[in-house]
Amino acid sequence: MKYKKFYIALGFVLLLVVLPALTYTYYNIALNRPAQGFKEAQFQIEEGEAISSIASRLHAQGLVNSDFLFKVHLFSQGLHTKIQAGVYNIPAGASVAELALIFQHGTNDASITFIEGWRVEEYALAASEQFENVDYNEFLTLAKDKEGFLFPDTYFFNADVDEEEIVELLGITFEEKTAGILAPRALEAAGLTKTEAIIFASIVEREVSDEEDRPVVAGILIKRWKNDELLGADATTQYAVAALQVCAPADGMEVELWTLEDCWPAEEDAKLVNWWPRELTAGDLAYDSPYNTRVHAGLPPTPISNPGAQAIEAVLNYTDTPYNYYLTDKNGITHYATTLEEHNKNVSEKL
């Protein structure tokens, strides 16, 4: 009798907790899985065409892995009423989630690409230059506290889109694209919170571009962080000092007390800024900003850029190595060292 009650209770746990969790995880993975076996394709949606017809034709052409999943996603998210008639260029390997977003806009759409590693000022500039109803300063107001969580990708927007719609979609896409990557189990295994993982990824995205090097560099940075050492990442210094090119301290303000938060370049000035200055001076390296990890130990207060999926995965799957130092040369090749002496030798030989 005792065992019977146990098995009944276990069955309820499996039915009410484990099975829904597994179903939700599988759903998110399937939703964002690229369709297999097609290159860029053209697809036409007729005026008034039923969702079942659209889903069936997409599946027949190999543009979705599951017509059932496509319909479930549209109806569960209330998107079935937002699908617009028109002729669409479908990018290779588009997922169900991406197609649902693409089909919400008509043929008056324009594409815009937000690059991995851009900061929100660069997002704001690109969007305000391309879309008439997007204001640079308003975009920054909406997006600044979302740095790191605006997914870089190619998007399709109607020509009259505004900044609120863009920022909202970038945030939604981030959650959809990273749901599987930033799963609680993966974060726990890496010993990081979601925010810490994105801050590290935003640095790794700027520090090194090679896919094989990224987990190694992530491991070095995380090792420094856990040992309460300075991260010493040039990208954080670049983030801190970039706007100094066009801004100056307010009257009477001591230079050493002035931070980037006191300077928000106007749109015309922002166009002149090199947001990632490669040549850093001794003054730049010593600049007292909470974002400058050459001065302050620990992580910057927020992410410094908007990382792509690869950089986030590199952080969560970082590689433990004996290396304590790294240097990326002008050709994009990363050199590692265990001791400071070896690192200084790399600096003298590789720069």
Task: Give yes or no for a contact between 301 and 198, defined as CB atoms under 8 angstroms apart.
Answer: no
| Pairwise CA distance, residues 55 & 62, whole Å | 11
Give pTM, 2 decimals: 0.70
| Pairwise CA distance, residues 311 & 218, whole Å | 9
Going residue by residue through the chain (351 aa), what tens digit of pLDDT does each one get?
Answer: 555 555 555 555 455 544 454 455 556 676 777 776 667 777 888 878 899 999 899 888 888 888 888 888 888 888 888 888 777 778 887 888 888 888 876 655 678 999 999 999 999 999 999 999 999 989 999 999 999 999 999 888 878 889 999 999 999 999 999 999 999 999 999 999 999 999 999 999 999 999 999 999 999 999 999 999 999 999 999 999 887 776 655 454 444 444 445 566 677 777 888 899 988 989 899 998 899 999 999 999 999 999 999 999 999 999 999 999 899 888 888 998 999 888 888 888 765
Task: Give yes or no for a contact between 62 and 38, defined as CB atoms under 8 angstroms apart.
Answer: yes
Task: Give yes or no for a contact between 64 and 32, defined as CB atoms under 8 angstroms apart.
Answer: no
Concatenating the DSSP letter of every residue in 92-118 gives TT--HHHHHHHTTS-TTEEEEEPPTT-
CA distances from 120 to 148, 265, 298, 307, 310 (A): 8, 13, 22, 11, 19
CATH of domain 41-178: 3.30.1490.480
Q: What's the chain's Rg over C-alpha atoms?
A: 24
Task: Give yes or no for a contact between 168 and 151, defined as CB atoms under 8 angstroms apart.
Answer: no
